[in-house]
Structure 1
Amino acid sequence: MKITIETNPGAEVRDLIDRGLDIFNEAKAGPLGASQLWVIARDDAGATTGGVKASTYFGWMHIAWLWVSPQARGGGLGSALLNAAEAEARARGCTGVHLETYSFQAPDFYARHGYERFGQIDDYPPGHSNIWLKKRF
């Protein structure tokens, strides 16, 4: 057995490992039902001003990131994006949503939208915290 450290093992190897884990998980927990979800905001000229990258699986939505351009911040766009993503998750039959954010990002924003903290790693990155949040519908 040879073990290597690789930064880019190639699509075939990544797919093999990813699908192998999916098969194991589905055998234990039922159908994954995985589907990507993108919510994009564009201004009148068509320029992207914000977005949500998420996926739904095992009856929950996971938000990988929510971003609003600096020019569009403070006007409710983040809330509109989050509300749209949550509405789509509900339409897909999800029980709730979970995500992680840093202490210097948006934990208070998510708390205002009904999210509760369920985990945290301090000093990740140094001087800050990595925070896990969830919301049941």
Structure 2
Amino acid sequence: MTAPQEWRRDGAVPQADLDLIRDRVITHGRQQAQGSDAADIAVALYEHGELVAGAFGRTEFQRLYISYLWVADERRGQGLGGDCLRQIEALALRRGCVDVLVETLLDEVAELYEHLGYACISHVHDFVPGFTRHTLLKVWQSRD
């Protein structure tokens, strides 16, 4: 006798199951690629014990993937974003990364990355209405 099936939708699917689906997709992909060395990577700047800027992502297959880079609203325009980027890049270089990949939906942030040596390798116009998804790559060493 087979177990009864039940479809759950939206909010009826527990968060733990959503996390499990994501984790199993990632695990399956890494098994296909073989040799994954994924490791979290992060930098954060604190002033008087309060977080004012930070970046995190992962390194894997000799590539830095930046997931998030954030600067507190009142500290933007002071170069802290570039400082975060240089800090996390330095950590990635010490781990043996040869390039870095980042995405943004903001045109002005894409321009900042380009100013810092990144090349835009793709755009998806209206990825979100009114926003373009920019994918940028910075190469330190050719992969041959």
**TM range, smaller chain:** 0.7 to 0.9
* Inter-partner Cα distance in structure 1 for 2:121 and 2:107: 17
Post-superposition CA distance 1:70-110 (Å, at most 9, x none): 11111111111100011111100001100101134501110
| Structure 2 residue ranges without an equivalent (≥5) | none
User: Normalization by structure 2: what TM-score?
Assistant: 0.82
**Higher alpha-carbon Rg:** 2
Instruction: Tell me what 2:110 maps to.
Output: 107
Amino acid in the other structure paired with 2:29: L
- How far 1:19 sits from its partner (Å)? 1.9
CA-based RMSD of the aligned residues comes to 2.0
Q: 2:122 aligns with which of 119, 124, 131?
A: 119
Q: Aligned residue pairs: how many?
A: 131
Instruction: Tell me what 1:33 maps to.
Output: 37
Q: 1:136 aligns with which of 115, 139, 142?
A: 139
- How far 1:11 sits from its partner (Å)? 4.8
| Structure 1 residue ranges without an equivalent (≥5) | none
User: Normalization by structure 1: what TM-score?
Assistant: 0.85
